[in-house]
Each structure stands twice: as structure tokens, then as C-alpha cells.
Structure 1
């Protein structure tokens, strides 16, 4: 790989020579030499640099676009060559939506790492919509999400695990000693929901529609943890995955209810771009997801084997 291209792209991404030097463990004079060498080879000035800013020239923008592609293809090439060794190893970039990323994926990755210790996963946690967009743009290898994916993105989507959602209330709520609530009782509550683009928000909106009401009071938060704390504090009620309240149910700080006649279910799915180069690490991970679900690990963690888990 041409180190000068890597240095140039890093300068453009980081917006400065000192940050690039720190990122690539080089000296600033070395960074300058790489940029000057690339400009001399290409016969064009690529960067305008002052004391206040570093900015790409028109030529620099052209080189940046193609250099990013060259570096990407170089990375794919080296990963595919590694696969010829028949060993499952190398980096694996995973995007996860919040419920899976915070409550399910840690258990999956723990077992996956024991099975494939030479794979080095990195995880980005965002809402379903953002993860799907990152997969479509080839910024991630694989995504695991709980929400529906826009078909316009043309991604490969494979369900691997069913998920049940519940209405949660605090211990002091008038429903706290119940296990089920009628749909018509829901309208007068203050509802605490996730932001749009979240898979959990999709389920909440579907509940409102099926129960035939629009919440009179709605509070929107970008974190399931904040939602749980708010419900505990008596600010309102919410819909969350069973996975999100494992510990709270064990500690009896939150109570979970079903809605009569309105099943709150969805599927966890993995995503890939259909034209993505599939390394052994990627194939091993999605195969492990299916095996992990089939072997009943999820049911045991949720206490469905008769043993409550905290």
C-alpha cells in the first residue's frame, strides 16, 4: 500500500497535520514529506494549508475520492488473502441497534470470541436506520438490528431470533400488581418512547395504532436506559424489549405487562450488503448468531428455562 495515500486521506479526514501525525504515529515533518512527495508525483497541489485551516484543493478532492476507494479495496484484498490460510481471523466491523447492542450482543460476542479468538470485532451502536444506512454505504461488515429495514437500501436481511416486548411501569404505578392491561386503558398514560428510526419506537407506534389512540402526552428519549430510569421514577410508561429489563425484573424495580389482544413481537435480524466481500470472519459470525439462538442461549438468559437470571 502507498503510505502517501494513507497519510493524505488521514490529513483530509482529521483536518490537520498534527492530528494525522498522532493518529499514524509519525512526526509532523514526516507527514509533510509524504504530502509533498504525493503532490510531486501527481504534479498537482492537493492541500491548501494555513495557520487556521487545512483544505483540499479541487485536485485534492479528486485524489481523496479515489484514494479512499484504493485504500478500501486494498483492505478487502488483504482480508481475502488472509482467508486463504483457512483460519477465521481478522477485523470484523459490526453495527448494532441499541437493544441488541446493549443487552444481547455482549453475550453473543463473549461466546463468539471463545470460538474464534483471532477475530477482532469492533462495534458501533446506533439506531436501526443508521446501522442499515452504514451497511448500504459499505462502512460496516454486518449489522444486527431489531427494526424494519428500508427495502430501498436493497440489503440482505436474515432474522435469527424472536423478541417479545412488554409495557413497563414503576412499582408504585396502579398497574404494578397486574400482568395484563386492556388496550383502552393505555390512552390516558404519559408515554416515554425512543426516537424515530429506532426499532423499539416502531413497535410503540404500532401499539398506539392497533390500540386505536394517539398518546396525549409523549416524551421522547434517545436511550433505553434513560427511559427505564424515567419509568422507575414514575414519569410514565413505556414499551421495551424483555431483554432490556432482565436486571430490573430480578431486582423488582420495574413491572412488565402484556396488552390483551395486541401481541408485541418482532425479530432480531442480521444485515449485509449483497455485494459485500464476505470474509470468513463475517460468515462465521452470522453462522454463530443462528447457532447461538438455536441452542437456547437466549431462552436461558431470559429465564425461560425456569431459572430467573439477573
Structure 2
């Protein structure tokens, strides 16, 4: 009898079209992924994938099997959620995910406001990048995720924008640009740039914005990649280069005169901040109340820090 794990592996291989990619996403070895697929094919007596040098592709039998796998996984997750909501040990808890900028600079204000109104509701927050959180929502490990930037294309996702963020260029106070309000792309190419690592939401927004406005990202002089916004700010303050990061993350430093924020001429770096849920998921009453707070624009304007101008 097929195990749920085998079906989840099968579904992910269909999604990625690649054994290696699935092993990375599910944190399994490549041989383990291959064995799971082989076990399914042996059980049903057919081949589900055609293997090529470029990856794998569903056979006709695989296409038929895939539709049933989707339904089985969906029903299993729905059963788990229904049982969890019925169980008293799960009442009163909110499990939410947030990307790094939201989790570090906005979520504390949201949680404080929610707890002041709702009392001692337990809130468990997972801080991770968009790809990880999207996967958790898809697998029903999280009911709610607050994410920034582009959202993975997936029919089972419901995405609702609740706020807008802007990326800005930051320079140290002694920099020649510190009196300017905007700079051109050509000026950017003359400076050493410190960026977030590949795969981060901030990095993706920056790359897409340059491409959308006809600028070549490869022309930038990237000298350092860091996985922490705090580390990037410190590196800029130390004179190691300039950076492009969220305006939400540098408000305090700008007010204290430690950093200067600029905009790029003819290039918009705005990005939506979104609520991500599963289209067929079930939210607890507390999770629904939490989302209602996030949807309340008037309340968010009151509780969020005033954007630096």
C-alpha cells in the first residue's frame, strides 16, 4: 500500500520535473527519492515517468495516477485540519509564517496589537524565506504566511496584498551622495554593491525591477552577498559599499543620522506584502481574527512605524 510520503514525493517530482530538485526541496537524498518512485511503479506495475538527461516527464499512466494522488493528499490534509480544529489542545493557538523583513520589522507590531485585544492567545511564528513558507502552506504545515515579493505560481494558493513596501538605496552619512534624493542607474554601477543572497525576496524584487525598466543587473558591481539585512546595514555603515534594501528596515538608522536613503531615477522598487493561505485550507477562529487585523488598513497605519521620508 502506498504511503503518504511516497505520494508527496511523487507529486513534488511532477512539480519540479527533476529528482535532484525534489531531493533538495524535501531534504532527502537523491537515491531515497528514486526509491520512493520505484516503489510506486513496482506496486502499480507500470512506469510513471520517462527519464531523460533533462529530468523526468509523466507517462500516460503517470498522468492518470497524478490526478488521484492530488485528491488523496488533499483529503488527507483536510482530515488532519478537521481533527486539529476539533481537538481542544489546538484551540487558542495561531501558527503563522513570515518572511524576514516582515517577521523582523512588522510582525512584532501586529502581534502586540492582536494580543492587546485578544488576551493570552498563543502565537507561534516561523521566520523563513518565501519558498520555504509557500511549501509549508501547500503542505498544510502552516495555515497563514505573510510574504514579500513574487509569489510562486500555484492554483492552491490564495494571495491577498495587505501592505506595500519600497526598496531604497542606502549609503553611509559620509558618502558623496548623502545630500541627494535620487541617483541614476549609471551612478549605481560605479559603486560597490552589497546585496542579499540569491533566492531572497529582496534580491528578486531588485532584479525584476531593473529588468522591467530596461537596466542590466549584470552591470552592477556586486562585491558582497549577505544573508542578513542587519549584516548588510552594518557593512554599509562601515564603508564597505552601498546596498538596496527595504525602507522598513532602515527607518531607525535614517532618523538617527547613521544612514541615508535614496531612490533610483526612473526605477520603481515597490513590492506587495501579502497574506498567503491555502485555497482549500481551514482557518481556526483565532487565525481568522488575526487575518482580519492584518486586513484592517486603518489599524495598520496606526500600529506600524511611520515610514522614513
* TM-score after normalising by structure 1: 0.68
More displaced stretch, 202-211 vs 267-276? 202-211
Answering whether residue 247 of structure 2 is matched by residue 212 of structure 1, we say no
Give, in whole Å, the separation in 1 of the partners of 2:269 and 2:208. 9
More displaced stretch, 109-118 vs 222-231? 109-118
Q: Of 283, 290, 306, which residue of structure 2 is paired with 1:285?
A: 290
Distance 1:238 1:299, change over 3 A: farther
Q: Of 251, 267, 270, which residue of structure 1 is paired with 2:256?
A: 251
- The answer (yes or no) to whether the contact 2:248–2:307 under 8 Å persists in 1 is no
Give, in whole Å, the separation in 1 of the partners of 2:192 and 2:155. 35
How far did residue 251 of structure 1 move?
1.1
Answering whether residue 299 of structure 2 is matched by residue 295 of structure 1, we say yes
Q: Of 178, 181, 194, which residue of structure 2 is paired with 1:179?
A: 181
Aligned to 2:278: 273
Aligned to 2:146: 144
* TM-score after normalising by structure 2: 0.68
CA RMSD after TM alignment: 2.8
- The answer (yes or no) to whether the contact 1:193–1:239 under 8 Å persists in 2 is yes
Q: Secondary structure at the match of 1:257?
A: strand
Give, in whole Å, the separation in 2 of the partners of 1:140 and 1:254. 36
Superposed, which structure 2 residues align to 1:1-310 within 5 Å?
Answer: 73=79, 76-80=82-86, 90-152=92-154, 154-209=156-211, 210=213, 212-213=215-216, 214=218, 215-291=220-296, 293-297=297-301, 301-303=305-307
Give, in whole Å, the separation in 2 of the partners of 1:232 and 1:125. 26
Q: Secondary structure at the match of 2:293?
A: helix
Distance 1:150 1:198, change over 3 A: same
Give, in whole Å, the separation in 1 of the partners of 2:77 and 2:143. 16
Distance 1:120 1:211, change over 3 A: same
Give, in whole Å, the separation in 2 of the partners of 1:72 and 1:153. 17
How far did residue 154 of structure 1 move?
3.1
Distance 1:225 1:136, change over 3 A: same
- The answer (yes or no) to whether the contact 1:159–1:267 under 8 Å persists in 2 is yes
How far did residue 218 of structure 1 move?
3.6
How far did residue 119 of structure 1 move?
2.3
Give, in whole Å, the separation in 1 of the partners of 2:237 and 2:244. 13
Per-residue Cα deviation, 1:183-227 (whole angstroms, up to 9, x for no partner)? 221112221111222211112212443362322334211111111
How far did residue 299 of structure 1 move?
8.1
Distance 1:296 1:281, change over 3 A: closer
- The answer (yes or no) to whether the contact 2:81–2:282 under 8 Å persists in 1 is no
- Which is greater in Rg? 1
How far did residue 72 of structure 1 move?
9.2
In structure 2, the gaps of 5 or more residues are: 1-74
Give, in whole Å, the separation in 2 of the partners of 1:298 and 1:167. 26
